[in-house]
């Protein structure tokens, strides 16, 4: 043992105090050692504690503190220097560590606090999301319910099924006690209980529609909570004491077909709308309440029901209409077939009768004509003429009636073809010439230069029309003149037609031909004009003139078929009248060889060329006659050579010439000699040209000419038609039978 210089602190030790200190230090040390252990234990348990290092530090601090206190135990009594050193070391370490920890904690504690706030924030957020989730889920569920309900409702088009299904599904989805539908009665003044969920056959309760509660429900498209005591909600007999569940009512619009025709259909005025009332009751004694999403569900369903009902109504309508149409169709079909049969029968009848009627007709006309040729006394001749006239008239009548009946039922069709328009007019003139000359009328034809020579149309019927109109003009004129004007109608004049419903449409390959026939004859009084075109209608004046009265009616129909119009104007009785008609004709295309092989020749030679290319030799001393004869023959298409003397004739004549026309002025002389010479030149008969004498002298007889070997004689003056006839006779028979 060392000697120590310190004064022994031999203070009177309060043994108790020291004891207590001893014990406290011990326990402190214990605590200080067990706290880190606990900390380590719990930290090991939790995996997320982020501050391990701090914990170690803290543990170290505590351990050292504990160590210090423990070592302190030994310092109460005499202790060695080693103990003192250990004590000091421990204290030093402890000081260091505790200071470090203190410093560290300054950083750590704010962090820990913020962790706490974040935790709070997240908790709030989680709560909010939970709430929203709950909302979405309810909405989705509502939607699902609605879809299912709608699907059920719309899967049928039957009214009752729709309504019944609605109630059933609603009841199921919302777990209702009772669900009922009140429909408005026919009068619209009451609501009648039509469908309920639980009761199978609801007795016909009715409530007046003017109840305030009903008006309240009808005034909004939302579901409205109503009192269970209101008349519409008293659906179940009250059995015992129970608290009835909450009741909600909603309006169901009943849409009419007519509602869909109003343009602003979302804002239909309530006056035109009818509503039904749907009442839903929650189970009694259940303390359940109507939630918002349930109310929304109910509103949506009410709308869907309205739509489904209207669809059902529309379907009913259309089915009914379809049935009606089918019936009508069948009836119409039958009628059409009957009509067709009738027309066929009529046509057959007409065809047969036509043939039957025409055969004897022809016989009569032919024999009467032949009879006319024989020797008859004047009375006999008169009788035969009357027979002929009457039978011609009858033949015309038959034709007219047949035509008209075919025109009436539309079975007549135009026979279109390309024809010479100018020649149609000339033909008409030719046909009326006999009557015109007898009546001493003057007929003038005025063809405008823009009238094409060729047109596409029905030539026969156009001629018939023109002939009829001109014929009428001639028939009803005792004297004076008749003017026929034809021109192509321009669009301005087209609009000036007298018919209000005639709309001519000019087009590129068609033109409207305007024909006007003006006469200075009897005229027509204004009140008779509308009747002119009706069948069989005849005025006083026309009755005497013969005819069936069908002519103009037929003309009108022909003109209409040709997409034209016909009308008659007259200034009054005795002032003549004007018949005007417009017809639509086609313009032929550029004629090409392939289509009309003979057309170019026709164009080159005017009108009807009967003898294209026929080589003719004309001999005439007189220059003017020569030219006229040549003109005649050129018109008929012949290839003409002219000579002015006999010698020239003999020189020029050749086998190419088929006909020699020679002017024989005086009997004997040149003409006959030439004929003999020609005979000598061409020995074989069939090669020799035919020789015909043209003469103005009646002494030149047929016999004389025949004796010298001529084949025929023609008396001048010779018309175009006569020349044509002569040539065709000559070429056919090689000899001219008649001199005229």
Partner 1 sequence: MEVGQMQRRLVDYTKSLFMEGFLDSQFLQLQQLQDENNPDFVVEVVSLFFEDSEKLLNELTRALDQTNVEFKKVDAHVHQLKGSSSSIGAQRVKNACIAFRNFCEEQNTEACMRCLQQVKQEYYLVKNKLETMFRLEQQIVAAGGSIPIIEMSS
Phi and psi of 51, rounded to 5°?
-110, 55
Report in angstroms how near the CB of residue 541 gets to partner 1 at its nearest.
24
Interaction of residue 740 with partner 1, rule CB under 8 A: no
Interaction of residue 613 with partner 1, rule CB under 8 A: no
What is the separation of C-alpha 683 from the centre of its chain, rounded to a whole number of angstroms? 80
Interaction of residue 159 with partner 1, rule CB under 8 A: no
Separation CA 12–CA 9 (nearest Å): 9
Q: Exactly one of 114, 631, 656, 673 binds partner 1 (CB under 8 A); which one?
A: 631
> Which contacts qualify for 141-144: CB closer than 8 Å, 24 or more apart?
141/293, 142/293, 142/294, 142/296, 142/297
User: What are the distances in angstroms from CA 332 to CA 344, 345, 424, 491?
Assistant: 18, 20, 45, 42
Interaction of residue 720 with partner 1, rule CB under 8 A: yes
Q: Exactly one of 199, 328, 437, 507 binds partner 1 (CB under 8 A); which one?
A: 437
Q: Exactly one of 444, 525, 592, 645 binds partner 1 (CB under 8 A); which one?
A: 444
Three-state helix/strand/coil letters over 192-216:
EEEEECCCCCCCCCEEECCCHHHHH
Ligand-binding site membership of 609 (annotated) = no
Q: Exactly one of 604, 655, 676, 735 binds partner 1 (CB under 8 A); which one?
A: 604
Which x/- pattern, by CB under 8 A, does the window 446-485 give for partner 1? xxxx------------------------------------
Interaction of residue 715 with partner 1, rule CB under 8 A: no
Report in angstroms how near the CB of residue 477 gets to partner 1 at its nearest.
13
Ligand-binding site membership of 548 (annotated) = yes
Among the residue ranges 119-127, 393-401, 602-610, 652-660, the one whose residues contact partner 1 (CB under 8 A)? 602-610
Interaction of residue 606 with partner 1, rule CB under 8 A: yes
Q: Exactly one of 343, 665, 706, 715 binds partner 1 (CB under 8 A); which one?
A: 665
Report in angstroms how near the CB of residue 456 gets to partner 1 at its nearest.
20
> Is 478 or 707 the residue whose CB approaches partner 1 more closely?
478
Among the residue ranges 170-178, 392-400, 428-436, 557-565, the one whose residues contact partner 1 (CB under 8 A)? 428-436
Tokens for 6, please give them: 């310190």
Q: Exactly one of 607, 612, 646, 667 binds partner 1 (CB under 8 A); which one?
A: 607
Nearest CA to 472 out of 412, 533, 394, 563 is that of 533
Q: Exactly one of 267, 590, 624, 737 binds partner 1 (CB under 8 A); which one?
A: 624
Torsion of the alpha carbons at 568, 570, 572 and 574, rounded to the nearest 10: -100
Nearest CA to 692 out of 729, 721, 637 is that of 729
Ligand-binding site membership of 552 (annotated) = yes
Separation CA 378–CA 395 (nearest Å): 25
Q: Exactly one of 44, 241, 355, 440 binds partner 1 (CB under 8 A); which one?
A: 440
Task: Say if residues 298 and 146 touch (Cβ distance below 8 Å).
Answer: no
Separation CA 412–CA 554 (nearest Å): 12
Report in angstroms how near the CB of residue 631 gets to partner 1 at its nearest.
4
Total count of residues recorded for the chain = 740
Interaction of residue 601 with partner 1, rule CB under 8 A: no
Among the residue ranges 93-101, 131-139, 260-268, 425-433, the one whose residues contact partner 1 (CB under 8 A)? 425-433
Among the residue ranges 207-215, 333-341, 376-384, 444-452, the one whose residues contact partner 1 (CB under 8 A)? 444-452
Three-state helix/strand/coil letters over 571-588:
CCCCCCEEEEEEEEEECC
User: β-pairing, 178-184 with 274-281?
Assistant: antiparallel
Separation CA 376–CA 384 (nearest Å): 9
Kindly tell me the burial class for residue 565, based on how many C-beta atoms sit within 10 Å of its own C-beta (0-12, 13-18, 19 or more): buried
Neighbours of 428 (CB within 10 A): 24
Interaction of residue 713 with partner 1, rule CB under 8 A: no
Ligand-binding site membership of 665 (annotated) = no
Ligand-binding site membership of 509 (annotated) = no
Ligand-binding site membership of 44 (annotated) = no
> Is 58 or 425 the residue whose CB approaches partner 1 more closely?
425
Interaction of residue 442 with partner 1, rule CB under 8 A: yes
Ligand-binding site membership of 293 (annotated) = no
What is the separation of C-alpha 122 from the centre of its chain, rounded to a whole number of angstroms? 67
Report in angstroms how near the CB of residue 332 gets to partner 1 at its nearest.
55
Separation CA 169–CA 731 (nearest Å): 106
Residues engaged in binding partner 1 (CB under 8 A):
426, 429, 432-433, 436-449, 604-607, 621-625, 627-628, 631-632, 634-635, 665, 696, 716-717, 719-720
Binding-site positions for Cu cation read 65, 69
Binding-site positions for ADP read 472-475, 519, 535, 548, 552
């Amino acid at each position: 043992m060392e000697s120590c210089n310190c004064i022994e602190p031999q203070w009177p030790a309060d043994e108790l105090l020291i004891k207590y200190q001893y014990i406290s230090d011990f326990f402190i040390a214990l605590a200080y050692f067990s706290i880190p252990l606990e900390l380590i234990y719990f930290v090991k348990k939790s995996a997320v504690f982020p501050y391990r290092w701090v914990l170690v530090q803290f543990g170290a601090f505590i351990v050292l503190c504990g160590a210090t206190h423990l070592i302190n135990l030994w310092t109460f009594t005499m202790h060695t220097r080693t103990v003192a050193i250990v004590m000091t070391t421990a204290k030093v370490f402890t000081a260091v560590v505790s200071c470090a920890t203190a410093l560290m904690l300054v950083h750590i504690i704010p962090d820990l606090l913020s962790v706490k706030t974040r935790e709070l924030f997240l908790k709030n957020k989680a709560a909010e999301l939970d709430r929203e989730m709950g909302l979405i889920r309810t909405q989705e569920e509502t939607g699902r319910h609605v879809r299912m309900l709608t699907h059920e409702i719309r899967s049928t088009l039957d009214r009752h099924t729709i309504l019944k299904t609605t109630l059933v599904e609603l009841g199921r989805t919302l777990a209702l006690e009772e669900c009922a539908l009140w429909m408005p009665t026919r009068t619209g003044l009451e609501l009648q209980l039509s469908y309920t969920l639980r009761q199978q056959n609801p007795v016909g309760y009715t409530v007046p529609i003017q109840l305030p509660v009903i008006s309240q429900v009808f005034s909004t498209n939302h579901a409205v909570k109503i009192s269970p005591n209101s008349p519409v909600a008293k659906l179940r007999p009250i059995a015992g004491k129970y608290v009835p569940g909450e009741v909600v009512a909603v309006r169901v619009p009943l849409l009419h077909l007519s509602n869909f025709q109003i343009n602003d259909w979302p804002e239909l005025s309530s006056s035109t709308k009818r509503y039904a009332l749907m009442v839903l009751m929650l189970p009694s004694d259940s303390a359940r309440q109507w939630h918002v999403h349930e109310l929304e569900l109910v509103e949506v369903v009410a709308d869907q029901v309205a739509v489904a009902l209207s669809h059902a109504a529309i379907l009913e309508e259309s089915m009914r209409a379809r049935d009606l149409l089918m019936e009508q169709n069948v009836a119409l079909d039958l009628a059409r077939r009957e009509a067709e049969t009738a027309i066929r029968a009529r046509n057959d009848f007409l065809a047969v009768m036509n043939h039957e009627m025409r055969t004897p007709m022809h016989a009569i006309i032919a024999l009467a004509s032949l009879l006319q040729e024989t020797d008859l006394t004047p009375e006999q001749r008169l009788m035969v003429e009357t027979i002929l006239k009457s039978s011609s008239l009858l033949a015309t009548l038959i034709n007219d009636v047949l035509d008209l009946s075919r025109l009436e039922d539309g079975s007549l069709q135009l026979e279109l073809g390309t024809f010479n328009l100018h020649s149609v007019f000339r033909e008409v003139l030719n046909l009326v010439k006999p009557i015109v000359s007898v009546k001493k009328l003057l007929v003038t034809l005025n063809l405008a230069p823009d009238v094409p020579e060729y047109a596409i149309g029905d030539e026969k019927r156009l001629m018939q029309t023109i002939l009829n109109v001109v014929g009428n003009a001639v028939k009803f004129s005792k004297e004076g003149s008749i003017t026929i004007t034809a021109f192509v109608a321009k669009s301005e004049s087209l609009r000036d037609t007298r018919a209000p419903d005639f709309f001519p449409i000019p087009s590129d390959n068609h033109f409207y031909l305007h024909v006007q026939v003006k006469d200075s004859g009897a005229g027509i009084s204004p009140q008779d004009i509308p009747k002119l075109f009706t069948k069989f209608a005849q005025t006083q004046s026309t009755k005497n003139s013969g005819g069936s009265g069908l002519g103009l009616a037929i003309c009108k129909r022909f003109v209409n078929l040709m997409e034209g119009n016909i009308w008659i104007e007259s200034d009054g009785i005795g002032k003549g009248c004007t018949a005007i008609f417009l017809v639509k004709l086609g313009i032929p295309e550029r004629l090409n060889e392939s289509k009309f092989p003979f057309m170019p020749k026709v164009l080159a030679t005017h009108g009807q060329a009967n003898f294209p290319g026929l080589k003719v030799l004309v001999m005439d001393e007189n220059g003017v006659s020569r030219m006229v004869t040549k003109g005649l023959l050129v018109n008929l298409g012949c290839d003409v050579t002219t000579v002015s003397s006999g010698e020239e004739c003999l020189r020029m004549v050749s086998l190419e010439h088929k006909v020699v026309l020679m002017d024989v002025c005086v009997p004997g002389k040149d003409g006959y000699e030439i004929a003999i010479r020609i005979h000598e030149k061409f020995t074989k008969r069939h090669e020799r040209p035919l020789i015909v004498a043209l003469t103005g002298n009646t002494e030149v007889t047929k016999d004389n000419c025949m004796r010298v070997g001529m084949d025929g004689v023609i008396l001048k003056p010779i018309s175009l038609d006569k020349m044509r006839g002569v040539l065709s006779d000559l070429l056919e028979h090689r000899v001219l039978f008649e001199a005229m």
